[in-house]
Amino acid sequence: MLTIEQAAEALAAGTTTARALLEESFSAVAREPAAFMVLHHEAARAAADAQDMLRRAGRAPSRYAGIPVTVKDLFDEAGQVTRAGSVALEAAAPALADAPVVARLQAAGLVVMGRTNMVEFAFSGLGVNPHYGTPTSPWDRATGRLPGGSSSGAAVAAADGMGFGGLGSDTGGSCRIPAALCGVVGYKPTASRVPLTGATPLSFSLDSIGPIARSVGCCQVIDGIIADAPAWHAPLPLAGLRLAVLRNYVEEGLEDEVARAYAATLSKLSALGARLTDIRIAEIEALPGVNATGGFAASEAWTWHHDLIERAGERYDPRILKRIRRGEGMSAENYVALLLARRNLIAAVAPQTAGFDAVLAPTCPLTPPAISAVEDEREYNRINMALLRNTSVFNFLDRCSISIPCQRPGEAPVGLMITGENGGDGKLFAVARAVEAALA
């Protein structure tokens, strides 16, 4: 499958058209139809034809005009109902305007082919949706394995060639977890870079909007468009990169397949000249206790949801409803203490990583579990917390972070998480490109 840059080159050379790329993407939907909530067949074809006409006239709005992409059901599109993966919002009025991130994609000429499936209200890392179906990870479809969440459909679509990438959101790992479980790349930007307007919120403090695609470069293109400011940095050679390997907290309970792939990745990077240094960040061990009263997600979700729950709470997935209701009992004292704890943790951790180009960790401790495994509520909660554990550290610390595949061909998908500093998005992309090239 082509990358975004390869597709842009083919469009510029006239060896393909926007309409042809779109039809190939629509054809690929048959591999896993549950990846989508809505397909914009007529509108997308009209948009692709328009971009082809503009390109022939020398008026293409950008190098990437005509490339098909997807949008998570979390984001407003004018004329569409933003259901956020829930039947509780089925009767809501259609959006009057596009979310800024959607408008920026369309202004650059990219073609939105449809709205991808997601966890209801983005409140789980598993990818399960009992209302609209759960798309399966491309790995071992005979068994039926979790795609990761909450941006489940976006990751499955990227992996299966349904468009060239898509918009996701990441509050505790919702771009990086499904990327890891589906064998693609997921990017969480420094949250303030990308506007949240027009996105159904989960946590005002932690929400960020990022891309999921098949390569680091593809994610960088989409990120630059939706941030309206490309995160550029001069290319970095792998040899000499100072990479911190986080050894505490994130390595607990790794599945054997994850541990093997991760160890092999670290060995390869070291052999190619990267300077790896083991570090331990004691402060992150406190995170479970800091979030024990529900954390930002429950308290801030409850603020947004309580009126809707009064009207339509019986329509929620009970497991999601239970998680949101945790915020109902959170006191102002608890919330202020959480704000202070976050500020203190950010300040304490920053100098410990400042001397490195990036921090490495496994994205998730698990390969994709079977969907049947989470039918039991205790297993649902256990696996969900396991998948969210590593990625959520860096949402709390307000860092930019990316997951890239690091398994060998033919093995279960495993993600390598590379994390930069707050505001260091350009440098992180440069590091991730160097690592991706080395692993290829």
- 15 is written with which tokens? 């060896």
Domain 4-227 in CATH 3.90.1300.10: yes
Catalytic residue check, 427:
no
pLDDT given at position 302: 98
* DSSP conformation letters of 126-158: S---TTT--PPPSTTTTT-B---SSSHHHHHHH
8-state DSSP, 410: T
Which of the following is catalytic: 25, 137, 150, 169?
150
Sign of the C-alpha dihedral computed for residues 198, 226, 191 and 244 taken in this order: positive
CA angle 347, 171, 249 (to 5 degrees): 55
Task: Print burial letters for 102-136: b (CB count within 10 Å at least 16), e (below 16).
Answer: bbbbbebbbbbbbbbbbbbbbbbbbbbbebbebbb
CA angle at residue 433 from 251 to 75, to 5 degrees? 80
pLDDT for the residue numbered 227 = 98
CB of 80 closer than 8 Å to CB of 176: no
| Pair of tokens at residue 115 | 């709205």
Strands 275-279 and 242-246 come out as parallel
Contact 129, 152 (CB under 8 A): yes
Which position among 72, 137, 151, 215 bears the catalytic label?
Answer: 72
**In what side-by-side order are the strands of the sheet with 111-116?**
36-39, 111-116, 68-72, 165-169, 209-213, 185-188, 401-405, 415-419, 358-362, 242-246, 275-279
Tokens of 370: 């079977």
* 179's tokens: 């990327």
User: Cα torsion for 69, 74, 75, 77, to the nearest 10°?
Assistant: 80
Q: How are beta strands 111-116 and 68-72 bridged, if at all? A: parallel
Instruction: Considering the chain, tell me which residue range(s) the CATH 3.90.1300.10 domain(s) occupy.
Output: 4-227
The distance of Cα 126 from the centroid of its chain, to the nearest Å, equals 13
CA dist list (Å): 53 to 107, 114, 254, 350: 15, 22, 52, 50
CA distance 390 to 385: 9
For residues 154 and 163, give the distance between their C-alpha atoms in angstroms, rounded to a whole number: 10
Is 27 annotated as catalytic? Answer: no
Q: For residue 108, what are the contacts with CB-CB under 8 A and spacing of at least 6?
A: 61, 62, 64, 65, 225
Cα 347 to Cα 190, 221, 248, 307, 397: the distances in Å are: 16, 31, 19, 36, 9
SS3 label, residue 167 = strand
What tokens were used for 252? 């607990």
d(CA 197, CA 173): 20
Pick the catalytic residue: 152, 174, 299, 401?
Answer: 174
Rounded-to-integer distance, Cα 77 and Cα 84, Å: 12
Q: Is 150 a catalytic residue?
A: yes
Q: Are strands 415-419 and 401-405 parallel, antiparallel or unpaired?
A: antiparallel
Tens place of pLDDT for every residue, the chain, 440 residues? Answer: 999 999 999 999 999 999 999 999 999 999 999 999 999 999 999 999 999 999 999 999 999 999 999 999 999 999 999 999 999 999 999 999 999 999 999 999 999 999 999 999 999 999 999 999 999 999 999 999 999 999 999 999 999 999 999 999 999 999 999 999 999 999 999 999 999 999 999 999 999 999 999 999 999 999 999 999 999 999 999 999 999 999 999 999 999 999 999 999 999 999 999 999 999 999 999 999 999 999 999 999 999 999 999 999 999 999 999 999 999 999 999 999 999 999 999 999 999 999 999 999 999 999 999 999 999 999 999 999 999 999 999 999 999 999 999 999 999 999 999 999 999 999 999 999 999 999 99
Residues contacting residue 406 through CB under 8 Å, at least 6 positions apart: 261, 262, 264, 265, 414, 415, 416, 439
